[in-house]
Chain A
C-alpha cells in the first residue's frame, strides 16, 4: 500500500525504551516475588528481541539467569485465512519447559489482543504454566478481546488510522517507537 504518510513522530527514543524495560524488569521482579519460577517468552519477531532484553535486565538485577524463549503464534491466529499463508517464525522453548512455570509473554505492541489470544493457545500446546502474564512495550488501546497487559512500558493513546512503528537495533539498526498517520 502506498499511503501518503505524515512525517513520523517519535514517541520513545533509545533511552526511553531502555528505561521502560528497566522499569518493567523491576515490576516483574516485584510482582513475581523474586522471579525464581519465571520464564520469559517473546512473540517473534520484535517481541522475542524485547524478551531477551527484559530477561537480561532481570538477570542482571537478580544476579541469576532467567529462562527465555520465543513463541511463534502464526498457526494459531484467527485471521490466518484472511491473508496468503504466512512464513512461520521460530519457537524456542527453554530447557526448563513451561510446565508449572510463571510465564511472562512479551510483545512490542498490544493492540486488538488477538495476537495474545493466539499466544495463549500456542503456549498451551507446550504445557500448563502455573500462570501467564503479559508485558508489552506499548499499549495503544483499541482492544477487541478481554485481554489486558500486566506490565506496560508506555500507554500510547492512538487513533485507528495511526500506525505505531517499533524499531529495534536487532532488526532495524535503531531503537525507537514512532507514530505515523496514514492520510
Chain B
C-alpha cells in the first residue's frame, strides 16, 4: 500500500514536522520521514480533516445544482473529510429510505463521510414528526435532525422533537426564523433595507426562536444545536444559555463572518442568503463569539444553486451561496489573521467540535500516531483570487467571485488516501 509523507508541515500551526501516513492511519510523526509519495508542507499548517455540520448536496432532486459526487469533490477541495447533507432535498430526507440512499451515494463516491441529516417533520412542513428513530437506526445512523430552510416554529413540535431524539443521542439543529416576522423578507432589516426598499428580516425573528429553544432545551434536558447564527443578540442568548448550563451548541457560517449587508446595495442576488447578511456590529459579535467559544463551530451552509436561480432580479433569486471550497480561507482571513483564533482553535471549531456534535465516529481526532488519517494541509500565505468558473462544485454561486482570499488547500487526506494533492483533486 502506498505510503505518504507530508514534509515540514506546522501541525496545528506549531513546530514543523513530518507526518507519515500508512494503512489509513498516521503512522509516524517526526523528522526525516520517508514514504512513496511526498507532499511538501513547508509553510503550511496541518489540521484534522474538516467536518461540516451543514451542507446542501441537493441530491436527490436538484442534481442540476449539486450531486453527492460534485459536492463531495467540492468538500475535499475545501479540506473537508466529512459533510452533513441537509434534509431539504426532493424527496425530503424524512424517511430511512431517503437517508440511506444519500448515505450509500456518499459511500460510493468515497471522498468524504457523507452523513445525512434527517428532517424533523414530515416534508419539512412542521406538522407531524418524521420517523426520527427509523432514520437513527438506519444504515445512515442519523444523529442530526433539522428542517433547515424552514424553522420548526411550533413550540410543541419543537419540544417533542427535542425530547424524542434523546433516545438515540440525537440533536435537533434548528433553523431559527420566526415565520410571521419574516414574511416576504429579502435581507437584513436595517438602514440598508429601508433604503433599498427590500422587505426586512429583523434580527429578532432569529433571536426570539433561539431564546425559546434554549429555554425548551433546558426544560426538557435535551441537546440543541442552533444553525447559522447571525446576530449579536443571538450570540448574547447563547452565551447566557451556556452560562446557565443549557446543553446548546451553535454554528456560524463563513459568510456571516465575512460580509455585511451593505453588499446588497449592488442588488446582486449572489448575496441573497438565509439568514441574511447582517450589520458590522453583528459580524464583530459573531467573530467574538466564535473566538470565545460561545459559538462552537463554523459550518458552511454550502447552498449551491444553478445559474438561472441567481442570474435574475433579487426577489426572484434563490437564497444561498456556496461555501465549501472557500471556508478555510475565510476563517483564516476573519479569525486567524486578526489573532482571534489559533490554528489549534480552528481545528476545534471546524473539525473536533462539529464531529462531536454530529457524533461522527473517527473524525475530529487529534493529529497523533494511530489516529485515522483525516488531514488537511493548508497554505495560509497564498492570496488567491476567486474565479467561479474554476470551482469544483456544480454551481457557481460563490459570493467571493473576484475577491482575493488568503490561503489554499494543498492536500486533503481521507482515510489515509489523498483526495486532493497539489491543490487539485487527486
Tell me, yes or no, whether A and B come into direct contact in the complex with CB atoms closer than 8 A: no
Residues of B within 8 A of A (CB): none
Residues of A within 8 A of B (CB): none
